[in-house]
Structure 1
Amino acid sequence: MTLQLCGPDPLGKEQAAAAALATIGRPLFAIGAAILPGAPADIARLAQLWRRDLVLTGGALFVDADRLNDPAPLALFATLLGRPLIVGAPDALMLGQAPTVRLDMPRLTANEQLPLWRDRLGPYAKKLNGTIERLAYHFPVSPELADSVAAELAVLAPDPAAKAKKGAPKLDEIAWDAARRFARPRMEDLARRIDSEAQWNDLVLPPAQKDVLKAIVAQVRNRPTVYESWGFAKRSAGRGLGISVLFSGPSGAGKTLAGEILGAELGLDVYRIDLSSMMSKWIGETEKNLRRLFDAAEEGAAILQFDEADALFGKRGEINESRDRHANIEVSYLLQRIEEYRGLSILTTNYRSNIDSAFLRRLRFIIDFDFPGQAERAEIWQRIFPKSTPKGALDFDRLSQLNLSGGSIRNVAMGAAFAAADRGQHVGMAHILSAARLEYEKSGRSLTSAELRGWLL
């Protein structure tokens, strides 16, 4: 007989199986489905070896099938094993003729995780009231994760009974940073993690757009209170609890920087995903890629930033082919996962008009990043150079005449800095003008007389 444990937490399923066998004094052995051979003769030989070991030890075998692509080898193995087999998978698998019992194992709720966090953090738990609730909501707990956080607390804050020394890291900051690092999802082949120290002052936006960004922070930060303590999660029955955002605007207007600031403000990792690279011409592959991404991201409460959202969310025309129908299935699947995802999902596009209005209605926030006006450009120029950069007399009013986006201003500033460093000089207007000409040439443009008005050429 085969027992299938179905749910999103691979480690939790294996631990549950081990704990159940421990109650009757029997061992559990575990293997990954990926090691099963492909040839039937090799599968039969492996099944025979495991049957012998299980008979001798009285134990059971657990097969981790969370990333199984082809269930056929596992189905043959289960049939030939002739012993009780436990399989962990996200959903039930068709395993041939082997009798199967399915047991669904949903992820623990935040309230169900709290006792484990408090138990493992020991004497530090009393000083982490409030933080433990945030940890439980954002990071799916395992004994290993909680023990790792406790170990880091023991090293960096060895005496929980003593008063914190001035300038020492706070307990809640140590615990949060440790949990984020130890729970960091493994999805390097699916997305790129952004390391950034961006701050609010680095982003030049009108007050209305900044207010929306701060509202996003407030919703992500206070989800444990609203969803769990105040009961909105039960009222919603799990629907629409994800926080989804659309950033629209031209390249270089600050969309990526805004995502980095949200990550820094919330203490969460930001992963950039190119949606066009996840799409496949093979039916079912796009959904498989998206599923792997969201399942991995759930482990680390990551912020997911999907670039080029037009690739999937473009306006739909009349459905004429099976490929068009499947494209709609891909979009529906992505929307479903975004709405169910416990973290923050950001979609970016250069052209909001390209996004189907039916999709826009399902997003919680939409922020338009407009091309910066002259006043915004002057402010960007004043902030673009680090404090340690040696600067000459810079005329920010003149610099703001250059019709550049924030991203292009950064490119020009860096180009001017390299030119000045090469000559052993402070960054001056001449260096910036030279770098600006190079930036314009990249896009096939030339500086206009209006942009150069007042410059000493």
Structure 2
Amino acid sequence: VGPEARAALWQQAHPAPLAADLDLTRVLSPFLLTPAQVAQAARSAAQVATLNGGEVQAEDVRAGARAQNAAGLDRLARRIEPAVTWDDLVLPADPLAQLRELAARARHRDRVLGEWGMRPGGGRGRGVAALFAGDSGTGKTMSAEVIAADLGLDLYTVDLATVIDKYVGETEKNLEKIFSEAAGINGVLLFDEADAIFGKRSEVKDAHDRYANVESAYLLQRMESFDGLAILSTNLRANLDDAFTRRLDLVVDFPMPDAEQRRVLWERCLGPLLPRAEGLDLDFCAESFELAGGNIRSVAVTAAYLAAESGGPVRMADLIHAVQREYQKLGRLTLASEFGEYVALLR
């Protein structure tokens, strides 16, 4: 049933008072629910609202809808309850706009593919698929979490250790289980490091090549028939088969942050609660150290531990030492020219 029909069924099943600002049709639009699931979700949301002593809010509706999910996918993927919003993303305007377009596709697919008849042929499903490409730490997983939060859905991260199998045919079986379980789940499916399983098909030189290509061909067909929201994440876009990218609705490139974005990231990663010493030169850190958001987060956490051990606030010496440790992790040289006037603080 479509979003409008779901909203009507909801109110028929349990006509609990709704909040004045609640657009029931819009809130229910990302969810794929049967009439029976709509009725159960309505009762669940009404019970929560009654316990809270008020009207049914948007979050009550989303929680009731998510409660209809089967537990099968939890055994195959890690479930994340989104805790971030659009305000937490630090990205250039174009990738941010593409992410909002992706959320809009998931929200309005019933209208566009159903009511307006824009569904392609060839056995294509009604799902939405996107590729997030960029270096590690540039915000790919966090962006998937933000989209899931915007839609009111859970995020399921596929653990590749449960998928890849050295025995012929087992990888396809594992993926079939994931796609089959995901078909009954109102959630966002994230394949992290997707180039490991969605790699390029190669010239057949031996039996291993032939079976690897069979896996890729199977994945191509299964992606097309999937009805959910799937996001593929990769650090190496060039490793993906062109046939996959052709079937994707959006490809979002995540660039390394510039100095202005790094300044915002430094501020956010250190947070409002961490005590800071005077003279903490975040402008210098943003200008001098070309780090991705994930690396800046690691530096901030390391500096916080150093401050906790010393019993004082975070000092510039803590940040410099934490950057030095992050460079060691990344295998980067610690150049005196990068640390400028603070080079004497290196240990």
Same fold (TM over 0.5): yes
C-alpha displacement of 1:397: 1.8
Q: TM (normalized to structure 2)?
A: 0.86
**Matches of 2:170 and 2:326, distance apart in 1:** 39
Asked if the contact 2:32–2:186 (Cα under 8 Å) also holds between the matched residues in 1, the reply is yes
SS in 2 for 1:452: helix
1:131 match? 24
1:408 match? 295
**Structure number with larger C-alpha Rg:** 1
C-alpha displacement of 1:184: 5.2
Q: TM (normalized to structure 1)?
A: 0.67
1:199 match? 85
Which blocks of at least 5 consecutive residues in structure 1 are unaligned?
1-107, 160-164
Deviations 1:266-311 (A, max 9, x none): 1111111144641223333222211211221122221111112222
1:293 match? 178
Task: Note the 1:142-181 alignment, pairs <5 A.
Answer: 143=36, 146-157=39-50, 170-181=56-67
Aligned-pair Cα RMSD in Å: 3.0
2:34 match? 141
**Matches of 1:433 and 1:120, distance apart in 2:** 60
SS in 2 for 1:245: strand
The partner residue of 2:109 within 219, 223, 234 is: 223
C-alpha displacement of 1:188: 2.6
Q: Which amino acid aligns with 1:224?
A: D
2:187 match? 302
Deviations 1:183-222 (A, max 9, x none): 2543233111123412223222111111111111111112
Q: Which amino acid aligns with 2:338?
A: E
Classify 1:169/1:389 alpha carbon distance in 2 versus 1 (closer, same or farther; 3 Å).
Answer: farther
Identical residues among aligned pairs (%): 37
SS in 1 for 2:314: coil
**Matches of 2:225 and 2:162, distance apart in 1:** 22
2:327 match? 440
Task: Note the 1:356-367 alignment, pairs <5 A.
Answer: 356-367=241-252
Q: Which amino acid aligns with 1:383?
A: R
Asked if the contact 1:120–1:146 (Cα under 8 Å) also holds between the matched residues in 2, the reply is yes
Asked if the contact 2:127–2:228 (Cα under 8 Å) also holds between the matched residues in 1, the reply is yes
1:267 match? 152
Q: Which amino acid aligns with 2:315?
A: G
Deviations 1:420-453 (A, max 9, x none): 1222212221111122222222233342123211
Asked if the contact 1:244–1:346 (Cα under 8 Å) also holds between the matched residues in 2, the reply is yes
2:314 match? 427
Q: Does 1:209 align with 2:209?
A: no
Q: Does 1:250 align with 2:135?
A: yes
1:85 match? none
SS in 2 for 1:175: helix
**Aligned length in residues:** 342
1:352 match? 237
Q: Which amino acid aligns with 1:320?
A: K
Q: Does 1:389 align with 2:266?
A: no
SS in 1 for 2:255: coil
**Matches of 1:356 and 1:251, distance apart in 2:** 20
**Matches of 1:398 and 1:249, distance apart in 2:** 25
Asked if the contact 1:303–1:344 (Cα under 8 Å) also holds between the matched residues in 2, the reply is yes
C-alpha displacement of 1:260: 1.2
**Matches of 2:164 and 2:289, distance apart in 1:** 38
Asked if the contact 2:89–2:143 (Cα under 8 Å) also holds between the matched residues in 1, the reply is yes
Classify 1:261/1:172 alpha carbon distance in 2 versus 1 (closer, same or farther; 3 Å).
Answer: closer
Asked if the contact 1:244–1:339 (Cα under 8 Å) also holds between the matched residues in 2, the reply is no
1:31 match? none
Asked if the contact 2:10–2:39 (Cα under 8 Å) also holds between the matched residues in 1, the reply is yes
Asked if the contact 1:247–1:369 (Cα under 8 Å) also holds between the matched residues in 2, the reply is yes
Structure with larger RCO (C-alpha < 8 A, sep 6+): 2
2:257 match? 372
C-alpha displacement of 1:237: 7.5
C-alpha displacement of 1:110: 6.7
Asked if the contact 1:111–1:228 (Cα under 8 Å) also holds between the matched residues in 2, the reply is no
Asked if the contact 1:118–1:132 (Cα under 8 Å) also holds between the matched residues in 2, the reply is no
SS in 1 for 2:72: coil
